[in-house]
Amino acid sequence: MDIVTTSSTSSFRQTRKEMMKIAIIGAGAMGSLFGARLASLAEVWLVDAWAEHIEAIRRDGLRLINLDGSIWQVSVKATTDPAAVDDPVDLAIIFVKSYQTAQAAAWAAPMLGADGLALTMQNGLGNLEVMAEVLGAERCVQGVTSHGATLLGPGQVRHAGAAATYLATRPSIDARVRRIAELFTRAGFETHLSDNLDSLLWGKLVINVGINALTAILRVRNGVLAEVAPARALMDAAVDEAVAVAQALGVTLPYADARARTREVALATAANRSSMLADVLRGFPTEIGVINGAIVREGARLGIPTPVNQTLVWLVQALEATTAARVLAGGG
């Protein structure tokens, strides 16, 4: 297998002034994927607290396995210290877990230049509002991406699935958002602009509601949910509740059949470990509160029963709380 080595300056002859400067806060699977693909087009910093991952990137570069099986070894700046990012950045992309959003926004605040924007493409609902409380709404942008990625280990990420990316725009920042969209498209992320992302945001949420918690509870890859009848029934039931809540809110989903679309995504990313499964396997907190938990909260507010999603929330929370007490195969 040939390995292509890239760097932030090798592929495109741009001056430092011409290149966009980007800080990606949260260098997990998605942050690493975007960082690797943007690094030849922009000056990119990866900022993450996982010291082993950052050290591997600084020592050997970031190894990206692309969808076609090709391998890139990418040179990219990486740090565990937000203060190490020198000079103002044009864009801070927030890819941390939802419970870390406020801290990530606080890290981004001193990095952003006068016209800098902070973009969230995180899972779940509420991240944009948390960022706005720290940075001000005028500096924050909502995005939705359906790309999938798996972090294989320190300094290694696999691109696990591709789909379109959407960025919200508004008149006051339209030129800056268009520049970001053009850069993403050049990096291989098909990107479109929208002045109303509610449909797409909820479209992604409904799919995550069906897939993430169940893969974490069952300890299976995405494709199993579509292939095993009892798992598929649970997935369908969780999705049905999310659709009912979306309809009550007046949200039109970007697909006609939510059950079918969720199964399609599960099969299209069959080999992928969901982010929630990865968190449970590592004993980390999950984003259950902004995914299935968001359906439960909105359902309660609207008077719509969500018993399946409530059960999934309790089960994942129980998994989080009993990590140290887990009985393993072959154990006592």
- The catalytic site residues sit at 204
Instruction: Tell me the torsion sign for CA atoms 268, 126, 35, 13.
Output: positive
CB–CB of 221/271 below 8 Å? yes
**Could you give the CA distance from residue 21 to residue 11 in angstroms, rounded to a whole number?**
16
Question: Of 131, 216, 222, 211, which Cα lies nearest the Cα of 168?
Answer: 131
**Could you give the CA distance from residue 257 to residue 317 in angstroms, rounded to a whole number?**
29
Residues 6+ apart with CB under 8 A from 137: none
**Could you give the CA distance from residue 192 to residue 167 in angstroms, rounded to a whole number?**
6
Other beta carbons within 10 Å of 58: 17
Backbone angles phi, psi at 321, to 5 degrees: -80, -15
